[in-house]
Amino acid sequence: MERSATSVDDYLAALDDPRRDQLARLDALIRERMPAAARVLWTGVFWGGTDQEIIGYGDWSYSRSDGTPVEWFRVGAALQKNHVSVYLNATEDGQYLAKKYGAGLGRVKVGSAAVSFPSLDRIDLDELGRLVALAATAGDDGAV
């Protein structure tokens, strides 16, 4: 995936309701918890081989195990076909925040660094805001 020249605001404006509303609400929550973070649209083929559009918040650079440098985001938000995903690229005590705290969000599917849910109305938004703020404080190594 790579940074897109399309602004996040233009991307959001082009979405159909009610999906736009879901992502716009999530965008507002993340921006409130990460006010100084860069906000960039990332596009391209994601890990599973699917084309994705992800709003990334905060810049994060790291190196893969083979030494290859990677530019990425600290927190991401994306619409999927049937759900919304939030990516939390940060760890606490060696465990990804999503994996460690995801169950506290309510009816979500938890991956290593991601939580997915059908609607913002089904999750604890205060807890999600707390996790976003926690991810924002992560150091260069992703640890909080």
For 28-69, the pLDDT digits (tens) are 999 999 999 999 999 999 777 788 999 999 988 877 789 888
Q: DSSP string covering 27-84, please?
A: HHHHHHHSTTS-EEEEEEE-TTS-EEEEEEEEEEEEE-TTS-EEEEEEEEEEE-SS-E
Kindly state the tokens that stand for 111.
């991956």
Q: How would residue 141 be classed by pLDDT, with cut points 50, 70 and 90?
A: low
The C-alpha atoms of residue 104 and residue 80 are separated, in whole angstroms, by: 22
Outline where 15-124 has alpha helix (H): 19-33, 97-101
Would 89 be classed as within a structural domain?
yes
Q: How would residue 72 be classed by pLDDT, with cut points 50, 70 and 90?
A: confident
Would 144 be classed as within a structural domain?
no
Would 143 be classed as within a structural domain?
no
The structure's pTM equals 0.92
Would 9 be classed as within a structural domain?
yes
Would 142 be classed as within a structural domain?
no
Q: What is the mean pLDDT of residues 88-112?
A: 93
Looking up residue 125, the CATH number of its domain turns out to be 3.90.1150.200
Domain total in the chain: 1
Q: How far is CA 66 from CA 10, 62, 93, in A?
A: 36, 11, 23
Contact 77, 84 (CB under 8 A): yes
The whole-number pLDDT of residue 61 equals 80
Domain ranges, residue 126:
2-137
Return the minimum-mean-pLDDT range out of 22-36, 45-59, 99-113, 114-128. Answer: 45-59
Q: How would residue 140 be classed by pLDDT, with cut points 50, 70 and 90?
A: low
The C-alpha atoms of residue 136 and residue 34 are separated, in whole angstroms, by: 6
Contact 15, 27 (CB under 8 A): no
Q: How would residue 71 be classed by pLDDT, with cut points 50, 70 and 90?
A: confident
Q: How would residue 128 be classed by pLDDT, with cut points 50, 70 and 90?
A: very high
